[in-house]
Amino acid sequence: MIKRLLAALSPVVRPELTGNAESPEVDNTAYSPDSRVDLITGANDNTTITDKVCSIVEQKPTIGWWGFFLLAFSVLGLLGIFVPFLIFWGVGTWGVNNPVGWGYAIVNFVFWVGIGHAGTLISAILFLFRQKWRTSINRAAEAMTIFAVICAGMFPGIHVGRAWFAYWMFPLPNQMELWPNFRSPLIWDVFAVGTYFTVSLLFWYMGMIPDLATLRDRAKHSVRKIAYGALSLGWTGSNRQWHVYERSYLLLAALATPLVLSVHSVVSFDFAVSQVPGWHTTIFPPYFVAGAIFSGFAMVLTLLVPARQLFGLKDVITLKHLENMNKIIMLTGLLVGYAYSQEFFMAWYGGVKVEKFAFINRAFGQYAWAYWIMVSCNVLAPQIFWFKKMRTNIWVMFAVSIFVNIGMWFERFVITVTSLANDYTSSAWDYYSPKLADVMIMLGAFGLFFTLFALFCRFLPFIAMSEVRGVLADQAHSRAAASARHSSEAAADSASGS
Amino acid sequence: MSAEMNSSVEVVTITAETATDVKPVLMLAEFETADLLMEAATRIRDEGFKLWDCHTPYPVHGLDSAMGIRPTLLPWIVLCGGFTGFCGGLLMQGWMNAVDYPFLISGKPFFSIPASIPVAFELTILLSAFGSFGGMLALNGFPRFYRPHFRSDRFRRATADRFFISIEGRDRQFDIGANSKLLRELGANAVEVIEE
Amino acid sequence: MSSIKETQKNSSQGKALWRSLDEFADTDEFRALVEKEFPNHAPELFHSTSRRHFLKVMGASVALAGGLAGCRWPQQQILPHTSRPEGRDPGAPVSYASCWEQQEVAEGVLVTSYDGRPIRVDGNGDHPSHRGSTTAQMQASVLGMYDPGRSSQPSHVTADGHASAEWLGAISALRKAGRSGKVAVLAAPSSSMALSAMRNRLLREVADSSWHEWAPLHRDSERLGTAQLFGRPMRPVADLSAAQVLVCLDADPLMNHPASLQHSSDWAALRTSADDDEPILSRVWSVESTLSVTGGVADVRIPARTADIPRIAAQLAAATGVQLPADVAAAVASAPPSTDDRIEQMAADLKSHQGSCLLMAGDRQPAEVHALVHAMNVALGAVGKTLSYAEVAHGERPAHIDDLQRLADRIGQGEVETLLLIGVNPVYDAPAIGKSWKDLIGQVPLSMHLGLYDDETAGVCQWHLNQTHFLEEWGDGRSWDGTVTLRQPLIAPLYSGRSALEVISAVVDDEAKSGHDIVRGVLQPLAPKDFESSWKKWLHDGFVAGTANTVASAPDVTGGWGPALESAMQTVSGKEIVFLPDHSLFDGRYANNGWLQELPDPITKVAWDNCALISPVLGSELGVKNGDLIDLSVAGANLSMPAFLLPGQNRDSIGVALGYGRLISDRAAGRLSRKPSLYQIADGVGFDTYTLRDADAVRAGYASVSVSRGEGNYPLATTQDHNPVRPEDFMGDLEFNEEQRKIGEFVRVVDTGFNPDASEVKAQVEEAGPHHPDLESPWTEHKYRGQRWAMSIDLNVCTGCSSCVVACQSENNIAVVGKDELAYGREMHWIRIDRYFRGDDVENPEVVHQPLTCNQCENAPCEQVCPVAATVHNEEGLNDMVYNRCIGTRYCSNNCPYKVRRFNYFNNTKNPSATEQMGYNPDVTVRARGVMEKCTYCVQRINRSKIKAHNEKRDLVDGDVMPACAQSCPTHAITFGDLADPKSQVSLTQKSHRAYKMLAELNVKPRTSFLAKLRNPAPREEG
Amino acid sequence: MSRTPIFPPWVDSLVKLLGAGAGVTGLYLVLMVNFGASPKTLNAGYMPEQPVPYSHALHVGELGLDCRYCHTTVERTGFAAVPPTETCMNCHEKIAPNSVKLRPVRDSFRSGMPVPWIKVHDLPDHVYFNHSAHVTRGVSCVECHGRVDQMVEVEQVSPLSMGWCLNCHRDPAAYLRPVDKVTDLDWGLERTHDEKALAGRELMKGLGLLDALDQPTVRMSLMTNCSTCHR
């Protein structure tokens, strides 16, 4: 059983397990000036694409899926154990102390919010830039966004000392006639993350409506019929619907773009607006946004590389797609590295004692180990993508994506903990170290994330079919045009020849 | 339900079982490719049909102009949403922190624009998004779970790999014979009439 | 060791401030930390038992029903008096005068009581030998009374195991013993006239009875020394406010002295006088082996072995022109040249301040040293100026250790039928006399123990009788100057205990008298005219005016030098161990008091433990660092305890605090109600150092010890330097880090002479601060129209005694969290006294204390970040903390540059015993779990005074409001008041040329100012 | 070819109906929570049964006892102390000396055990209310306790919620009266709110809450500070 499970999870395609036809790896990353490379490889047309994507949902779940789901779900169980324990005993079950009032909870919060940035970025910004290659990955990326934000949203709720009063952060009328303090970055957070979740959800769902209609029209089982029927709201693919839909989608994309930038800026305000040396930095908003995109793309890779194998989607999510993402990872990695160096420059240039100390202490102090893990994972690891061979190698990119995930977690750890542990009053300095509850709840969040993702793969269209069809159409056109050009040239040659 | 042959051109008629005194409500014509559909649509538009539509598995470029659809007013709805969000956000913060229960916080003013921007901004986005999504639902009349189209089995493929033109029975120029003939000429590989 | 030299070299120019040795010397601590990923905390899920222990022990939980609008909370009842006593208003605090006794000296106290529940102990300002301040122990005594770990009933252990016991049985047993005679009493020495009267009655009326006294920490040598010199014992009453030059030979007059409160405020007078128009700054010399509180504030400190101090004293005597017997003089002359070239300097200082100087000797020093010291005082004309003498009550009694010998002999010869132990614990704290006291007591046919706790001694006695706490009993005592001070009960005995007076009365009287009658009877003669009226007045004042028994004229020196003088000078070389009174637990009697256990030591900042204080040099010789176990062996007795590398410790001397490693059981409760005895918090805390202290050590004040590195490590909980960062490891020399850490800006110290120049001081204080542009806010800041509460703390007179910490704890219902949580950095004290070392010499650094509490910043950074506005400013500039609004994001604490906010990580106030709830201050909310808290400038006191004033249709005047810390401070280092009133004391102090604000460059506008420390070091010629 | 649609036509009308229903329910719930859960509804009107059926209506209303005859400490301390048993016995040794209702009082007086009155006005422990601070400033008993002189059994009339307290702390004008009238529960009740407010402003000047120009003083602004009630 275990062996089969591993086999199923292994990237080697096992049609009888994946239930998908063999889809060969095609290198479509070569750049040829005259003809545009195909984003969708293989002999694919509307029919095959539709069958491919729908079959993931319509066929029995593979053992691979079951293995993944059960594993994730059992890890999610940790939350069920440790969160009630935390609420019952108090925040002291965590490692936080004076002066380090924020520990893993906030680290995880920022980490997950960061992860949650790639999806909307891919859907919205790449959409506005008319990047066709987004269409194969945006659905999965958006789903990931939603789930990551769910994980993130959990932490502020449980990290407060009296979770049962957390609702006081919302401006609700009450007998105390008290309102929240809108000068506090935490309130900005509530609004930013709340808005981000809502908008991402709308965006995701709206994008799915046509594909849900496809599933509806292919559904055999009555439960599926009703479910997908209800979800697709009665979509008929009428062009008048498409017209309004397209415009609405465009507007949402236009709205989501500034939103996505604002959210992590606001999250960075939690630190930047305070006066803790190491937090009180104007570079934080862009720095955080870059980091968020960085980690987000890494997580998308981590999810898609195995997924395209398991579901036999190599010809839809092609090397080209992966390579593009790797390029972005490399770019944002450099941005993040630049931010790291800038912090030191500003500390030196600003000449504020405690500021200087904060950063020197970060790199060489008691948390140096964390700092260097961060640097090596975030700045060094992605550099390997300078080489095309590496950029297009499945195993390398998967490894790098894991490194980046780790590195970005540590970035948040370094920022949050080292700054607090040694701030102004040296007599109050202390060392923060996590307790079991910290670690378990962190793992539990990952469980939650992967469980949700597994369910998504199982029940919702993994690829934005309707959009891919559009891409196919364009490909067909350009291919036709190209062949026409060739034939006319050939004719001209023969004419001149005679 | 009955499927009988029309004399001139082959038309499949689909009728609801329950319905008494049935009359045609919809004519569906299936096309193989988007290009055929495009030409057909242009022609149908020129013929002066009003209550008709095209059904495609993905948004086909140029079809809007081919069909002569006028721009939607959705953007205005979104604008209203955004405006409400921004003003509402500023007013809420000002009233709560400076008017209803002013706190003396860090010696800062009770209300100041910079501190209020983040929340106001987020609310702008939020309400615009609601406007956009809600507007889309409203303008498309969603949710609407029953449509006559769903009586046609062929029409399943409208969301997969086929292209359809539908003409409503209420259209002034609706005429089973003439229309089906026209559509055939335009390259429809099948024409169906839905009655109920 | 090498690295110490090196750092000295590096930071030779200018004086560097540092927090702990871990930063200073190059231990491996830091590198270990860097390498280890998560040091010293194996991830643990369940917080330690001892903490939960504490949840049970400390505090009452109050449901903060803030959010639960609507739900009807549990029904409460109102139980009014059936007839209300005269002038008793429910819910209004009333204060009564009483007295507290330690080391046979009474301190007048003022006890505040709510509805008959005493909740605070303050100093009695009217008392002649007192300045209204309090020590930590005095204030903690309230908790001591409510301590559920106290023994709650008599218990009688018969041959056939345990049996219940009632007071009736005990009384008859006592009377029976009294009738049959051969009663020996071993009692704690007391200044009580009533007790000595009862003692005389017992000796008179009970056949073959004897009375013995024992206290592990006593002042025998002072008594005997003065007796040697003057022919009869005397008690030196010092007036430090006149002593411009003060020399302390192993003495700690500011902390471990019965008159420490008086000394402290007098000493402070000669430090604050540096701000006067003709500024005068005293100079304090301290010669001692272990850094004491006085040594910490000394201007010149000479770390010498305790064993060497007699010789130093003799050398000093010779240098100051005291006529010494020939042999001694010869010995001095022949003695090796003094360890420190500063003896001559000291002598010179003394001679140049004839009549305005004073020498004091510590009670560890032999009688001969005291004789020398007083001879010098006479020679230098101190007597009558800085020093007067008082009679000692029955001073003819033998030294305590000899008294023990007498008792042991009597027991040995079978002359004791009944042994009555009153308030003593020899099994724990007395050295074996031939046999251990367990065996000696076992020899006695009938042994009865009267004490607050069912302790070690009670465990070996047949009878244990539960004694009354001093707040529960009638009594009297004499203060240091002899003033008769009254003790009245604030509450009926919680556990129906009886006082020592009543128990002795039960022995000698057929009808046991009440303490009230006994005391009245004894004091009757003191009344000038009709007794009742004066008795009323005495009770009200708390003392009998004009009863100080000062010696009128300066006593004449009979010149009787102790024969031991010369031998005292022949000191053995090698390592010595010195037994110190613990700064919190004293001799161990307060071991079960949570407040005192959790109170960090003023010097080491270690709480919940005692450790072996060794010199850093010895440390590196042995290769140990803080917490490593070392093996001590004294005359066959061995003890392994954690080392603490204390800068300033003499390298051949090891200091160990007494009073830990207690074993308090709860037999009675355990037997009778099967209650798990979880209230004996003292059990197993620290190390019992009495096991090393044999009779000779008690006599000599020290013992020679052999020390070696032990096995393993023992975690110590400190409130400072939890995990030292040592940037110098990668950032070069100490000064650089100094600059990084800004310590030099936090605590500003100026070295001056006897007459500091104000402008010079001002310049230096400003120079120490950071240079930053003028601070402006981008918005127009709030104008405060009303009172502007503010505080200023004078570092110049802060001795670090930590009285304010306990004052705050008792006033504000601050929870005790226990050792483990403390080690985790979750202490709850609202006041943190930061201790910094200053100077390059690890073996003899200077000490600076900085009490740090909420600065009530006008632009408070904590407020802006709170999402629910649980901490906001009020119109008087107070940074209000609203517990019931707090949801516990801890953001405020993160954003506080002073890190003075405290968070309830667990429910620290859960399942309190009924008695503990009685001890809470009803004016302050008891905080629940998940809530932030911090210093409020005692806003409850501000409000009470304001309401009172407005009820009386008047405005507040300066001094109406006094926070607990300021009220308790023995040196009055803390002044509090209204800045809007230009004449208020705080306005003046904040305008002082020494005043500065901490981290002012952040533009947080703190309301608390600090006054720079002035030091008056003896100029040292380089060489 | 034909197929049967997933949803028959009537589903759409049903959906519209459900949508409308959901909207109405939501509104209803909001209103329920708003009014149902407010302290006004939950706390006001609390009237526990007391061990002794002491009637304020009789003693205060008819016999005209002054509040302070029993609640002696109200002007001095934070608590308006419930009187000791002997206060009752002052009269009841003579009057109705063996009434059954009064047995608990007599028992208490004999045994010295207190009469276990049930607390009616019970503030949360984190709220520090001081009677003397209000009574000596001219806030009448009636403002919070209502017409106790008409109550046979004491009942909580006000919500005693934070919002309710703030209502007066923000603008006490209409709730003030001359200090000597504080215990006349029926004094000046006939006046309209505006009349009260008008008179109140003068009193506020006397109390130093308003300055000569009717501008609120510091003392006024202090009344809404957190530490005024929470410590």
First to last CA, chain C: 22
Q: How far apart are CA C734 and CA C725, in angstroms?
A: 12
Q: How far apart are CA C814 and CA C615, in angstroms?
A: 35
The answer to whether the CB atoms of C869 and B109 lie below 8 A apart is no
- Report residue A283 CA to chain centroid gap: 23
Tell me, what CATH number does A288's domain have? Answer: 1.20.1630.10
pLDDT in tens, B86-109: 999 999 999 999 999 998 999 899
pLDDT in tens, C948-982: 998 888 889 998 999 999 999 999 999 999 999 99
Residue A319 resides in a domain = yes
What number of helices (H) and strands (E) belong to chain A?
20, 0
pLDDT at C1023 over 60: no
Residue A220 resides in a domain = yes
Residue ranges of D 96-135 with Cβ closer than 8 A to chain B:
none
The answer to whether the CB atoms of D162 and A176 lie below 8 A apart is yes
Average pLDDT over residues C591-619: 92
Question: Under 8 Å CB-to-CB from A165, ≥6 apart: which residues?
Answer: C66, C67, C887
Beta bridge partners of C582: C586
Q: How far apart are CA D204 and CA D206, in angstroms?
A: 5
**Structural domains in chain A (count):** 1
Structure tokens at C248: 């302390």
Q: For residue C848, give the 3-state DSSP assignment.
A: strand
Q: Which structural domain, as residue segments, surrounds residue A371? A: 41-472
The answer to whether the CB atoms of C782 and B103 lie below 8 A apart is no
**Residue D231: which of C73, C82, C943 has the nearest Cβ?**
C943
Name the H helices within C118-244. 136-146, 167-180, 193-205, 220-230
Q: How far is CA D85 from CA D102, D103, D105, D122, D153, in A?
A: 11, 12, 6, 22, 18
Q: Are C844 and C860 in contact (CB under 8 A)?
A: no
- The residue written with tokens 């010998």 in the block is C405
Question: Under 8 Å CB-to-CB from A59, ≥6 apart: which residues?
Answer: A19
Residue A390 resides in a domain = yes
Which positions in chain A touch B140 (Cβ < 8 Å)? Answer: 240-241, 244-245
pLDDT in tens, C490-535: 988 888 899 999 999 999 998 889 999 999 999 999 888 888 999 9
Positive or negative torsion for Cα C912, C917, C919, C921: positive
Structure tokens at A451: 């469980």
Amino acid at C598: E
Rounded to the nearest angstrom, the minimum Cα separation between D9 and chain B is: 5
The C-alpha torsion from C420 through C421 and C422 to C425, rounded to 10°, is -170
Quote the mean pLDDT of chain C: 84
Q: Name the nearest CA neighbour of A367 among A298, A438, A420.
A: A420
Chain D residue whose CA is closest to A220: D6
Q: How far apart are CA C137 and CA C1007, in angstroms?
A: 30
- Report residue C488 CA to chain centroid gap: 24
Q: Name the nearest CA neighbour of C501 among C484, C527, C529, C521.
A: C521
Average pLDDT over residues C206-228: 92
The residues spanned by each domain of chain B are: 2-69+147-195, 74-140
Query: For position C270, what pLDDT does the model report?
Result: 92
Q: Out of A208-212, C741-745, C1012-1016, which region has the weakest mean confidence (pLDDT)?
A: C741-745
- B104 interfaces chain A, CB cutoff of 8 Å: no
Q: How far apart are CA A429 and CA A439, in angstroms?
A: 23
Q: How far apart are CA A142 and CA A120, in angstroms?
A: 6
Q: Are C724 and C19 in contact (CB under 8 A)?
A: yes
**Residue A179: which of B101, B106, B119 has the nearest Cβ?**
B101
Rounded to the nearest angstrom, the minimum Cα separation between A217 and chain D is: 10
DSSP annotation of D182 reads T
Q: How far apart are CA C534 and CA C530, in angstroms?
A: 7
Structure tokens at A415: 């920022």
Q: How far apart are CA A93 and CA A91, in angstroms?
A: 5
Burial class (CB in 10 A: 0-12, 13-18, 19+), B51: middle
Q: Name the nearest CA neighbour of C794 among C974, C580, C1003, C604.
A: C974
List the pLDDT tens digit at each of the 498 positions of chain A: 445 544 444 433 344 434 444 566 777 777 665 556 678 887 788 888 899 899 999 988 888 889 999 999 999 999 999 999 999 989 999 999 989 999 999 999 999 999 998 888 888 888 898 888 889 999 999 999 999 999 999 999 999 999 999 999 999 988 888 999 999 999 999 999 999 999 999 999 999 999 999 999 999 989 999 999 999 999 999 999 999 999 999 999 999 999 999 999 999 999 999 999 999 989 999 999 999 999 999 999 999 999 988 888 888 899 999 999 999 999 999 999 999 999 999 988 988 888 888 888 888 888 999 999 999 999 999 999 999 999 999 999 999 999 999 999 999 999 999 999 988 888 888 889 999 999 999 999 999 999 999 999 999 999 999 999 998 888 888 888 878 877 777 777 766 654
- A458 interfaces chain D, CB cutoff of 8 Å: no
**Residue B145: which of D1, D2, D11 has the nearest Cβ?**
D11
- φ/ψ of residue C709, rounded to 5: -70, 130
Residue A362 resides in a domain = yes
Amino acid at A404: V
- The residue written with tokens 């062929």 in the block is B154
Q: Are C579 and C658 in contact (CB under 8 A)?
A: yes
- B23 interfaces chain D, CB cutoff of 8 Å: no
Q: For residue C246, give the 3-state DSSP assignment.
A: strand
Q: How far apart are CA C929 and CA C890, in angstroms?
A: 13
Query: For position C54, what pLDDT does the model report?
Result: 31
Q: Are C554 and C382 in contact (CB under 8 A)?
A: no
Q: How far apart are CA D178 and CA D203, in angstroms?
A: 7
A partners (3+ CB pairs within 8 A) are: B, C, D
Chain B residue whose CA is closest to A204: B133
Rounded to the nearest angstrom, the minimum Cα separation between B112 and chain C is: 9
Name the H helices within B48-112. 63-67, 74-94
Backbone dihedral region for residue C250 (phi beyond 0: left; psi -120 to 50: alpha; all else: beta): left
Query: For position A9, what pLDDT does the model report?
Result: 44
CB pairs under 8 A between A and D: 21
Amino acid at C818: G
Average pLDDT over residues C929-958: 92
pLDDT band at C336 (very low <50, low <70, confident <90, very high): low
pLDDT at C723 over 50: no
Residue A478 resides in a domain = no
Q: How many CB atoms lie within 10 A of CB B17?
A: 8
The answer to whether the CB atoms of B151 and D11 lie below 8 A apart is no
B partners (3+ CB pairs within 8 A) are: A, C, D
Q: How far apart are CA C184 and CA C417, in angstroms?
A: 8
The C-alpha torsion from C61 through C63 and C66 to C69, rounded to 10°, is 180
Chain B residue whose CA is closest to A200: B129
Biggest CA–CA distance in chain B, Å, is 89
Q: Out of A8-22, C85-99, D125-139, which region has the weakest mean confidence (pLDDT)?
A: A8-22
Which positions in chain B touch A244 (Cβ < 8 Å)? Answer: 72, 74, 135-136, 139-140
The ipTM assigned to this model is 0.91
- C899 interfaces chain A, CB cutoff of 8 Å: yes
The answer to whether the CB atoms of A176 and D163 lie below 8 A apart is yes
Q: How far apart are CA C1020 and CA C341, in angstroms?
A: 9
Q: How far apart are CA C350 and CA C119, in angstroms?
A: 46
Burial letters D175-195, b for 16+ CB under 10 A, else e? bbbebeebbbbeeeeeeeeee
Residue A488 resides in a domain = no
Q: How far is CA C361 from CA C226, C251, C1023, in A?
A: 11, 5, 30
Chain D residue whose CA is closest to A175: D163
Strand pairing category for C789-794 and C1008-1011: parallel
- Report residue C129 CA to chain centroid gap: 18
Q: How far apart are CA C866 and CA C889, in angstroms?
A: 8
pLDDT at C132 over 90: no
Q: How far apart are CA A266 and CA A262, in angstroms?
A: 6
Strand pairing category for C932-933 and C653-657: unpaired
pLDDT band at C18 (very low <50, low <70, confident <90, very high): low
Burial class (CB in 10 A: 0-12, 13-18, 19+), D44: middle
The answer to whether the CB atoms of C860 and B103 lie below 8 A apart is no
Question: How are the residues of chain A apportioned to helix, strand and coil, as percentages rounded to the nearest 5?
Answer: 75, 0, 25
pLDDT at C46 over 70: no
Average pLDDT over residues D206-219: 89
Q: Name the nearest CA neighbour of D4 among B56, B191, B194.
A: B194
Chain B residue whose CA is closest to A47: B161
DSSP for A110-162 reads HHHHHHTHHHHIIIIIHHHTT-GGGGGTHHHHHHHHHHHHHHHHHHHHHHSTT
Chain B residue whose CA is closest to D9: B146
Q: Name the nearest CA neighbour of B147 among A240, C381, C486.
A: A240
Average pLDDT over residues B79-84: 96
Structure tokens at A62: 């593979």
Q: How far apart are CA A118 and CA A127, in angstroms?
A: 13
Q: Name the nearest CA neighbour of C541 among C583, C591, C590, C479.
A: C479
Q: How far apart are CA B185 and CA B147, in angstroms?
A: 27
Amino acid at D136: T
